Structures are given as C-alpha cells and as structure tokens.
Structure 1
Amino acid sequence: MTNARSPSTVTVIRPRWVPGLTTAPQATAHTDPADVLVAARPKGPTMPDILHRISIDAPPKRVHDLIASTDGIARWWTGRPLTGGHTIGSSFSVYFGDAEQPAAVMQVLTDTPDQVVWRVTDGPDTWIDTGITFTLRPRGDGGTTLLFTHAGWQQAGEFMSGCSTNWGAYLTSLKTGAESEAFAAYPAGEISRWD
C-alpha cells in the first residue's frame, strides 16, 4: 500500500480575506474563483469567521440571482434599494432604515453561478477588509445548499456575535424568499439590535 496521491487528486485551499489587502487577486480563465484570495494569506494566528450552512428548497440559479443583484439583496437583506452595481470589480452600498449614509460598501470580487464573493471597503471598522462569500451547491432534489462565510474578523466579540445572529436571520429571509417570496428583510429580520 502506498500513500502517494494519484495524479488526478487536487487539494483546494479555500479563500480567506486578508485584512489590509488593498487589491484582491483576480481570477483568470485558469483559476478557480474560490481560490482568488489565497495568494496573500499571511502566516500566523487564524482570524475568526462567521459561518452558516443553509438548505434552500429552490434551484441554485434562483438563489444566485437573489444574492448577485442589488434588487435581490434589497429583498432579502436591507429592505430598501441599494446604490451601485453588482458586477465584478464594481461596488454597491447597503442602507438600513432611513439612514442617508450607507451602512456598508461592498466590492464584488467574484460572481459565478456557484459562488459570489464581496470585500467590505467601508462600514463598521470591524467589517472593513473582511470578505463575504456565498457558495452554492446544487442538491440532488433540485434545491441548494448555501455555505456562507464572513471571514477575516480581527477578533471575536459581542459585535461579531450580533452580526452572526443577524446574518443567520437574513439568510433565513433569503431561504424563505427564494422558496415562497416570504422575505423578512430589515427591520423584520433584525434579531440583534444595537440601541
């Protein structure tokens, strides 16, 4: 028996957003979009991530269209229109309530049928330079498994915990909206408030 790997075995290292990286590595025709952020990974302690896995009884294309369009994002997350665009390299701003200033600005790094990646360029200090990844896996029954990551937090804490709670609620809004049009965007979907 040998421990050698067969030539067809490929090891894939999934990306982490690297705080302080000002430009993201770009995918090429020969690059797996899931690996575009690996190039600048520093050595040292691991940064905490928010992770969620959601089973959605809707086809991957339906889920992708809600994640990869500003109109879709408004339906399941913000509850109001976004500004900007959702194309690779562009940025969009999210607003909550009646705020005139954006709560966060996201740059679109990857938009493929099975993955959408954003980099936060403005917003809460602890969000800046973090990465938000939506990975879509088709299920045998026609549904979708969504793997969500908000990566690169400097440290875990109360704010991160609240964000994780709210991400779970808004991803549930995405799920119910994709399945039945019953979205629960802000403010209905907010569970952890900062008042």
Structure 2
Amino acid sequence: MADIEHIQYVRKPVDAVYAALSTQEGLGAVWTEKLVVKPEVGFINEFDFSDNYDTKFRNVELTPPTRILWECVQSDPEWIGTSVSFDLETRNDMTAVTLRHMGWREVTEFYRFCNYNWGQFLYSLKLYLETGKGQPYQQRQF
C-alpha cells in the first residue's frame, strides 16, 4: 500500500484552520464550490468536481481543533476505501497542517496526479486563510 503525505504552514490559529477544513464554507472556498458538508461524525460529505457529486467521504473522526479523518465511500475506484486525515498542530505563530491520503493499493498515474493536487489543495487552504481567497476546483486551470 502507498500513502500521500504533505505538510503546509498557515499563519492562522488552529481553530480557524480546523473550521476551514470541516465546514461547507471553508471547503467551498478551498476545494470545490459545489459541495454538501456537515461537521458531524458519520455524515457523508459530497463534493462535485464536474462529476455530479460523485466524490463522497464519511466523517470518521472530528476532534476539534486538531484532527479530521475521512473515509472515501464513493469516487474514482482508486479512492474507494482510502482515508484522508488532517492533523493540526500549533507551532509558534502558525498552524502546521499534515495531510495524509492513506491506503492506496498501488502507485499509479492517478496516484501521482492526486499527490500533486493535494499539494495544490494545501496551497489553496493557505491562500484562503491568509488572504481571504482560495483556489477551489472551479477557479483553477488544469
């Protein structure tokens, strides 16, 4: 199995970062403008990337303000059964965000593409929190 792992440093308090990663408003500004998200354990968040809300993650763990864990229940076949976690830690005047996409069955072209795009996700998160404007899917150029 393979995992993707990235870290980003954001000049905002950990509570603000947690809110951006667990709410419809935050994820809408960072990842995709079309989504249905509730910060409730067991809720299945739905994300639309021009695929009719085909990407769905169950909230497995929500531990404010330090950890979020999702399990993919619907998406590209390579994502189904994988997990995405966000671990947040205060470091001086910043929040360290460690993103892990765990449980890939193998390293494929899609894995490599997603690895790059998770890095872009964290950059969008940083932009959103530090400048007020992220780069969700609908505003990116691929």
Please indicate the TM-score interval, normalised by the length of the shorter structure.
over 0.9
Greater helix content: 2
After TM superposition, the runs of 4+ consecutive aligned structure 1 residues lying more than 3 A away are 187-191
Q: Which runs of 5+ in 1 are unaligned?
A: 1-46
The residue aligned with 1:67 is 21
82 and 148 in structure 1: CA distance in 2 versus 1, 3 angstrom threshold: same
158 and 178 in structure 1: CA distance in 2 versus 1, 3 angstrom threshold: same
Q: Deviations over 1:49-97 (max 9, x none)?
A: 010010111111111000011221111001x231252311111100024
The residue aligned with 2:123 is 172
Q: Deviations over 1:137-183 (max 9, x none)?
A: 00112x10001000000000110000011111111000111111121
Q: 1:135 aligns with which of 80, 87, 91?
A: 87
Structure showing greater Rg: 1
User: Percent same amino acid among aligned pairs?
Assistant: 27
Q: Which runs of 5+ in 2 are unaligned?
A: none
SS at match of 2:137: coil
Is 1:183–2:134 an aligned residue pair? yes
Structure 1-normalised TM-score?
Answer: 0.69
Q: Deviations over 1:122-151 (max 9, x none)?
A: 00000001000000000112x100010000
Using CA pairs under 8 Å that are at least 6 residues apart, name the structure with larger relative contact order, 1 or 2. 2
Q: 2:45 aligns with which of 92, 97, 100?
A: 92
Aligned residues: 141
| 1:1-195 correspondence to structure 2 within 5 Å | 47-78=1-32, 80-97=33-50, 99=51, 101-112=52-63, 113-141=65-93, 143-189=94-140, 191=142
